Amino acid sequence: MLDIIKSSGFYLNNKYQTREAHKIILKDEMRTNTYNATTGVITISQNRALAIAETQRHYIDLYTSNKQEYQQLREDYAFPIKMILDKEKARKLSAFFFWSAWAASTNRPEDEVTYTSNWPHEPLIGNTPPPSVLLWSIISIFLLLAVLVLLFGIMLLNLTNGVKTQNLSRVLPQLILLKITK
């Protein structure tokens, strides 16, 4: 879509300003939520419609064409080489790609994060994780580690105190690579 914006005739005097202006236009077009809940319609710009059509053509060709270049792409993408869809299935798959991209790039109503909490990371449109995501990720990792340490500690304590659980005395040494002796 950035290429379409660049070719749309929007120019400023300074090349650097033009490049930055194109990125701002792209971010605004991608992040602005134009979904109308009453009608169930998403309104998209002319530039975005062109980008969607171009992307759809690419995916339809990728999944339906026998041309060598698309066979090579399928191999590069690790698709089964002889996998060919009919045009309708390829069109539906392309529509799914649009919806997933729309959800990942469009802000929630009255919010500054996307429907997917700014994931996947794409700085070109401002898709960077909010601080709360990073905070909760770190907290969850520490909690997971704490629970694992607690569980292994309890199991080791039970073994050293002579309490044996079914098969635990055989499995635990293999898990922690220690030989427990009596």
pTM reported for the whole predicted model: 0.69
User: Is the peptide bond between 120 and the residue preceding it cis, with omega within 30 degrees of 0?
Assistant: yes
DSSP states of 75-128 as a string? HHTT--TT----HHHHHHHHHHHHHHHHHHHSBPTTSSSBTTSS-S-BGGGTB-
The pLDDT of residue 83 is above 90: no
Lowest mean pLDDT among 19-28, 40-49, 134-143: 19-28
Q: Are 1 and 30 in contact (CB under 8 A)?
A: yes
Q: What are 115-163's pLDDT values in tens digits?
A: 998 989 999 999 998 888 889 999 999 999 999 999 998 888 877 776 5
pLDDT at 3: 82
Burial state string for 6-18 with b = 16 or more CB within 10 A and e = fewer than 16: beeeeeeeeeeee
Please write the tens of the pLDDT for every residue from 112-128.
999 998 989 999 999 99
Q: What angle do CA 71, 72, 76 make, to 5 degrees?
A: 120
- Residue 68's identity, in one-letter code, is Q
Cα–Cα distance measured from residue 127 to residue 116, given in angstroms and rounded to the nearest whole number: 10
- Encoded amino acid at 81, one letter: I
Token readout for 114 is 């996307």
With vertex at residue 26, the alpha carbon angle to CA 24 and CA 28, rounded to the nearest 5 degrees, is 70
User: Does residue 56 surpass a pLDDT of 80?
Assistant: yes
Residue 82, pLDDT score: 76
Give the position of tokens 């427990």. Answer: 180
**CA atoms 101, 103, 108, 111: torsion sign:** negative
Look-up: residue for tokens 């002796």?
Answer: 181
pLDDT category at 21 given cuts 50, 70, 90 is confident
More confident residue, 164 or 90: 90
- Between 82 and 56, name the one with better pLDDT: 56
